[in-house]
Structure 1
Amino acid sequence: MTERPERYRNAIVPHIYVDGASDGIAFYERAFGAMELFRIAHPDGKIMHAEILICGAVIMIGDPDERLYGEPRTLGRCTAGLHIFTDDNATLLRRAVKAGAEEIQPPTNMFYGASSATVRDPFGHVWVLLSWKEDLDPAEMERRGNALLA
């Protein structure tokens, strides 16, 4: 198994959703001295995924994706997701569903080097369960992500 990148050294990484994520990144740069690591943007400029560094901690940020973070039934808009890095996301997915979470995506190999599974908990929070497969630097993630959107 490939070790996850050092920037994901913590087991849980926050992922926030901001309408106008580009403006959000600019704000976090001004307010907290954030440093942008990379961004993957749709042709219309909306950010699919970006990562910033604040006080040595990675924060993932993007514009909301209606499928995952839009209006889940009556729970309202989800503005944050939590990424759990685990060695076995399929087992963790089954455990979460058994406990009452809604499966959104089964384990799927993604362009950024991880197998990703997603659930929504009964309170409306989105949890992304990641098992790391391939260590990619941010520039390669950005290249692959932009190629996917092209």
Structure 2
Amino acid sequence: MTTKTKSKPAARPKSTPAAKANARPSPPPLSPHLVCDGAAKAIEFYKKAFGAVEMMRLPMKDGRLMHAAITINGAMVMLVDLFPEMCDQAAPKGSAITLHLYVDDVDKVVKRAIKAGAKEVMPVQDMFWGDRYGIIEDPFGHRWSIATPVRAMTPEEIKAAVDCMPV
């Protein structure tokens, strides 16, 4: 009489603490993905202007970045260089999208961004909705509205302020 021995399935490799520590974090539900003509330079600008922290970059052999990710105020922003040979990307100069950034000191951040190479689009000023607010355009054509909340207002107070505006 012959007996058949069943082989055990191969054990899955166990995850090590180092692998867990280096695991890619879960992405947030929504992240801007900026197309830049010079994504590596954009990363350096965002570090200087907004204190961005680089998460990763994937350079191609020609130096362009196929993918990069940074965080600004804890929010992930992805970047990529222009790759017209791979897909039909719009030119990055001039965009209908504005990125909004809340900070502790809008005046300080806008001054730092301008010093790093941004252009002032709207000077920082107190706004009717309770924020101190200004707009800059970065050297890569992306507009950033930057604000610091200065007073909490109800929707009714904001509506009343709008109703008093001349336009």
Structure 1 length-normalised TM: 0.46
Of structures 1 and 2, the one scoring higher in RCO (CA 8 A, sep 6+) is: 1
Structure 2 length-normalised TM: 0.42
Q: Give 1 or 2: higher strand fraction.
A: 1
User: Max radius of gyration: which structure?
Assistant: 2
